[in-house]
Amino acid sequence: MARVHTTKSGYTFLNLDRSRPRCPLEVVIRPDLLHNLTRHLQKRPANLAGRTVEAEGYVQAAEGSTAQIWLSRAPALSIVAP
């Protein structure tokens, strides 16, 4: 994972492969899932930069925008062992 950032509204974005705006795909974590996700991973999302993750969710793509994987539940993201 290339970069992690959180917006003022509480959404966390995990940029996969490259940092934004050149990021071809990113994972979006809604604010209401963040606490449970952090507990599930036993890590804060900011500590995932440089790690390989596996995400399960639905893909949303808009023309001219980065494709996004939106998590629908907290355990939908896991860290892949090296």
Q: Which domain holds residue 42?
A: 3-76
Whether 8 shows a pLDDT value over 90: the answer reads yes
State how beta strands 67-71 and 77-79 pair.
unpaired
d(CA 75, CA 33): 9
Q: How confident is the model at residue 82 (pLDDT cuts 50, 70, 90)?
A: low
Q: End-to-end alpha-carbon separation of the chain, Å?
A: 13
Q: How confident is the model at residue 45 (pLDDT cuts 50, 70, 90)?
A: confident
81 domain-assigned:
no
Mapped to the 3 state alphabet, what secondary structure does the chain carry?
Answer: CCEEEECCCCCEEEEECCCCCCCCEEEEECHHHHHHHHHHHCCCHHHHCCCCEEECEEEECCCCCCEEEEECCHHHEEECCC
Provide the domain count of the chain: 1
pLDDT in tens, 58-76: 888 867 678 889 998 878 8
25 domain-assigned:
yes
